[in-house]
A and B are shown apart, each in its own frame.
Chain A
């Protein structure tokens, strides 16, 4: 209770939150079991599981929140857990840096979320999502400025800022690849399956607001589509296995955003679900590989298929699901998004979607081939062996989920039963062409990478400027590091300097002036009676002279 406002905490269970709860809790379970093996012997074992548990709680709070304030609070808390887990190995300077970067960059987006929340709360007079939705539905929401459409667009875009930060969309995607400094199970749970999907969830949750604002929908589509494509191209030129997966996550989140922008909430959430399983599977498989080879650089792997058969197969399932190969889960969900773009007659989205599908198939093949085929390229890879059961059982279960997740489609559809939620079902020609594109990507990738080459084949085949662009990650990181971060730091230094030398300088100048004036005037009170009498006489004479001159 504050003033006339009563702020309470409550839960809202609808199809959307139940769907998210299922995803969050199952992936979390698999990852935590896996972690028992992965983190065994780490000095921060207890700390790790404490924060993971806090994360799961906060994430569940986020998806069941019935009001915006609780949603925002959980949103920040998962951000905190992400910070703590990215910086889990805090002695590593890179991890400490990545943790800070992740928090600050997402916080940047959160400002938008917070402002949107403030504006919306005043317009609706409540934080309750149900009530706001009802007001939007029957048109009683009082816009604070402009028409309802303009206001909704403004608020929706502010919320989208938060989503861009959390779900690592362009241009705030830069924190996610660095976040890979955290333990791999953390990357699987937080930075692939759940927290990064919170942005998508937020847009889906506030979908009623986006729907009445075409401008906002258009922005979401464009940012999503662009992010999907850009991140997929960057993934082509990475050698760190986790970073490839991180860029892939960014790309897939862009896919989901694009689906939302196209108005198809079902497709977006369906893809969110399937992606959560196959991407966490891929991360855990990668973790298993890293555990065995003690490196994240794919150039030092190779030939692991014979040594880690289960991991290789689960990774293959994950990769094919991500590439969208029939009948794995990714095939169904990706197809729905492409169909939405096709039906929505949005040529940019469709082109971006198809190009991303091709690139995805290509870089996943590259990853799998470089890791598991060919000859071992390092000492560790030579002696790698399969992970213990506590790690491989979760892998197997996730692989099953990733394979058959497609059957979840009707469940998602009925959970989100939304009259306006798109009518995409299935289109054979489209599915065929998408599959062909993916197969083409796989073939090309296999051809290029089946034999290990000293030089990255892409580097030879692509024009130099293009490859540099990919390798430098489209220069977005450089822009933030060299322009934004420096500008902020220099502003800080400048203000600190001004404070010391100008503002405080003025204070010291006053002090100096007082002291100096005192010193100058000291001769006035030198204690000699003759001097005082002299001044007295002179003053009297002056006064008399002045008075006399008046009278004349």
Chain B
């Protein structure tokens, strides 16, 4: 027990990884066994994540649950794990999404074994990124998270899946190239030659010019993953083609990884560079919000609507980062969580609707609420959170972001707030087109969600409402984390 407590963070990485290997040993016909194994593994990671939240020391702050193993001391590489108030919520987010994602993939019959083992491998990488505080491992896990995506989309995807898979992978690798160069520059410019983030924070002194160049590298590199305009076009194609669980994980968690990378690596290591580029970041974020919302409204493919809404909502996250004050950063990090849950829910729902109706064209749908009331209710809950209705976590996140950013750049608040009207318009339009009105011919036997399919709907929907009514459940963590980042930014 003590060992588990000391290595809880390693376990979040190891449990999915080992299960991934174990699944490889099971004969492919034993699909139920494989599914149960995946479900058990993700339940364990969920329990560990909740346990971490429970044991988090709010008074102490800083990086907690640290684990450190020298790996290549000569090169300054160590297996160094730890979470702060921000990344712990992202670990929790990942745990929830993969837990529900496995249930959402329950009906995958084609090469089940390969699918679930790749999915677990993918999530190993995602957990790894959020808990690593060594740049080398951070990058390693990041690549681990990107590569299985190619296979998952290419094999189990829909539509132009090969094209989308290739585009997504190449685009993200382009981002990786920026990150790698920036990372190496940080390594060589640091006095002690280390990849260790806490050590870098203490020892490294970068000149203003260096910071400006390096921050831009990280911003572009991680920004691609966060879907910043105009480097976002991998996201709609990728998310629309990917199978349900992959879309959930990718839009729900991986895009946050981009934003979190900007915060953890870019802003905390290079505060002056960040401040220099903040107006640009904010401007692009505002474009993301408005442009993404309009693009979403212009789509007729249900999955593209949701994919573009992610582009729009990631704008809120990036806007909060650009605001660089306590309120806006809390809003931004909360939006990472809120949007992750919300978009996970959305993709789970879109997957269900598609599976049952065999269409994603919203113009061919209508009146589905009568046949699938559960799915309709969950969709509306997600939609309400999407346009920031009070009582959902989306409201708290968006309100804090817009409210906080006003202190730094009032005009961004004015435009951003207008963006949420557009969001309300397209969300309600989709709800109307898909679930309300007259049902076209041929949809008389649409079933509602069944057994395992309920898991994602109920769990994610409930989180949206609970954290919307009691935002303290999350903001207590975020306040601690944000306070640490503000110190690094020299704003406390």
A111 interface hit (Cβ, 8 Å): yes
A497 interface hit (Cβ, 8 Å): yes
Contacts of A491 in B (CB 8 A): 294
B432 interface hit (Cβ, 8 Å): yes
Q: Are B298 and A1 in contact, CB atoms less than 8 angstroms apart?
A: no
Q: Are A96 and B233 in contact, CB atoms less than 8 angstroms apart?
A: no
A405 to chain B, nearest CB (A): 33
Q: Are B390 and A77 in contact, CB atoms less than 8 angstroms apart?
A: yes
Tell me which residues from 482 to 509 in chain A have a Cβ below 8 Å from any Cβ of chain B: 488-489, 491-497, 499, 503-504, 506-507
Contacts of A148 in B (CB 8 A): none
Segment of B26-34, B276-284, B420-428, B456-464 in the binding face: B420-428
A93 interface hit (Cβ, 8 Å): yes
A90 interface hit (Cβ, 8 Å): yes
Instruction: Encode B452-492 as 1/0 by CB contact (under 8 A) with A.
Output: 00000000000000000000100100010000000000000
- Looking at the complex, which one of B295, B327, B439 makes contact with A5 (CB distance below 8 Å)? B327
CB nearest to B388 among chain A residues = A76
Instruction: Encode A42-80 as 1/0 by CB contact (under 8 A) with B.
Output: 000000000000000000000000000000111011001
A230 to chain B, nearest CB (A): 25
- Looking at the complex, which one of A3, A73, A494, A504 makes contact with B326 (CB distance below 8 Å)? A3
Q: Are A1 and B295 in contact, CB atoms less than 8 angstroms apart?
A: no
- Looking at the complex, which one of A1, A80, A115 makes contact with B417 (CB distance below 8 Å)? A115
A108 interface hit (Cβ, 8 Å): yes
Q: Are B384 and A489 in contact, CB atoms less than 8 angstroms apart?
A: no
B167 interface hit (Cβ, 8 Å): yes
A492-B294, A496-B298 given as contacts; is B429 within 8 A of A100 (CB)? yes
A97 interface hit (Cβ, 8 Å): yes
A302 interface hit (Cβ, 8 Å): no
Instruction: Encode B297-326 as 1/0 by CB contact (under 8 A) with A.
Output: 111000000001000000000000000011
Q: Are A115 and B414 in contact, CB atoms less than 8 angstroms apart?
A: yes
Chain A residues touching B, majority SS? helix
A124 to chain B, nearest CB (A): 14
Q: Are B295 and A496 in contact, CB atoms less than 8 angstroms apart?
A: yes
Q: Are B437 and A488 in contact, CB atoms less than 8 angstroms apart?
A: no
Segment of B6-14, B183-191, B343-351, B400-408 in the binding face: B400-408
CB nearest to B414 among chain A residues = A115
A103 interface hit (Cβ, 8 Å): yes
**In the complex, what distance in Å separates the CA atom of A77 from the CA atom of B384?**
10
Q: Are B403 and A121 in contact, CB atoms less than 8 angstroms apart?
A: yes
B367 interface hit (Cβ, 8 Å): yes
A96-B436, A492-B297, A499-B233 given as contacts; is B406 within 8 A of A118 (CB)? yes
**In the complex, what distance in Å separates the CA atom of A494 from the CA atom of B404?**
32
Instruction: Encode B76-106 as 1/0 by CB contact (under 8 A) with A.
Output: 0000000000000000000000000000000
**In the complex, what distance in Å separates the CA atom of A103 from the CA atom of B370?**
22
Q: Are B436 and A90 in contact, CB atoms less than 8 angstroms apart?
A: yes
Q: Are B327 and A2 in contact, CB atoms less than 8 angstroms apart?
A: yes
Q: Are A100 and B432 in contact, CB atoms less than 8 angstroms apart?
A: yes
A54 to chain B, nearest CB (A): 10
A122 interface hit (Cβ, 8 Å): yes
A4 interface hit (Cβ, 8 Å): yes
Tell me which residues from 508 to 531 in chain A have a Cβ below 8 Å from any Cβ of chain B: 511
A23 interface hit (Cβ, 8 Å): no
Most buried by B among A5, A87, A92, A499: A499
B296 to chain A, nearest CB (A): 8
A107-B424, A507-B233 given as contacts; is B389 within 8 A of A76 (CB)? yes
**In the complex, what distance in Å separates the CA atom of A72 from the CA atom of B418?**
16
**In the complex, what distance in Å separates the CA atom of A471 from the CA atom of B407?**
48
The 22 sampled A-B contact pairs (Cβ below 8 Å) are A3-B325, A3-B326, A5-B327, A74-B390, A92-B437, A96-B436, A103-B424, A108-B421, A111-B420, A115-B413, A118-B402, A118-B413, A488-B425, A492-B297, A494-B298, A495-B291, A495-B294, A495-B295, A496-B299, A503-B230, A503-B233, A506-B230
Binding site for B on A (CB under 8 A): 1-5, 72-74, 76-77, 80, 83, 87, 90-93, 95-97, 99-100, 103-104, 107-108, 111, 114-115, 118-119, 121-122, 488-489, 491-497, 499, 503-504, 506-507, 511
Extra pairs beyond A108-B421, A499-B291 (10, CB < 8 Å): A2-B326, A74-B390, A91-B370, A93-B436, A93-B437, A103-B424, A104-B425, A111-B421, A115-B417, A511-B170
Binding site for A on B (CB under 8 A): 167, 170-171, 229-230, 233-234, 236-237, 291, 294-299, 308, 325-327, 330, 367, 369-370, 384, 387, 389-391, 395, 399-400, 402-404, 406-407, 413-414, 417-418, 420-422, 424-426, 428-429, 431-432, 435-439, 472, 475, 479
